[in-house]
Amino acid sequence: MDLSILWYLVPSVIMTACGVYGFITRKNLIAMLVSLELILNSADLNFVIFNRFLFPGSMEGMVFTLFAVALAAAETAIAIAIIINIYRSVGDSDIHKVNKMKF
């Protein structure tokens, strides 16, 4: 049985939605970072799907995905480093402890 493009796109959309929802609702910095990774990976997934199904002759989406994965790794590395800094100075990675500056 051939799977149509929808079988791949729907999980990707669900991943995006979960990522945005998680980013807004989660209170832990690490959990927020995981949600961000979900959005980034769903974008990568989109690129691969569109490349595979719509433009099977070219490679542009795949190449974009390769670079995007590397960029996502770099983003995570810096974010983790900053979260460690926060943990050292606050003793917690709860977002409610990081609210000294407001309005």
Partner 1 sequence: MDFIQSTDYSQFVSMLPELIVLGIFVIVLLADLFAGDTKKSFLTPMTAVLFLLGTVAIWIVPASGESIFGGMYVNDTMTNAVKAILNIGAFIVILQSAKWVDREDVVIRKAEFFELMLVTLFGMYLMVSARHFLLFIIGLETASLPLAAMVAFEKRHYESHEAAIKYILTAVFSSAILMVGLSFVYAFSTGSLYFDDLARVIQSGEMSGLLIAAIAFVIAGIGFKLSLVPFHLWTADVYQGAPTAVTSYLSVVSKGAAAVTFFVIFTTCFGGVYSDCWEWMMYAVIIATITIGNLFAIRQKNMKRFMAFSSISQAGYIMLGAMAADGRGLASMIFYIFVYIVSNLGAFAVISTIESSTGKLSMDDYNGLHKTNPWLSFTMTLAMFSLAGIPPFAGFFSKILIFTSVTGTGSMALYMLVLIALINTIISLYYYLLVVKAIWISPEEPKIGAFRSDNWSRLALWICVAGIVFFGIVPFIYQYCVDSVSASAGMLGLLN
**Contacting positions for partner 1 (CB under 8 A):** 16, 19, 23, 29, 32-33, 36, 39-40, 42-44, 46-47, 50-51, 54-55, 57-58, 60-61, 63-64, 67-68, 71, 74-75, 78-79, 81-83, 85-86, 89-90, 98-103
Which of 102, 101, 83, 82 shows the shortest CA–CA distance to 93?
83
Nearest-approach distance from CB 96 to partner 1, in angstroms: 12
Q: Which residues contact 16 (CB under 8 A, 6 or more apart)?
A: 38, 39, 42, 43
Nearest-approach distance from CB 29 to partner 1, in angstroms: 7
In whole angstroms, what is the distance from residue 43 CA to residue 50 CA?
11
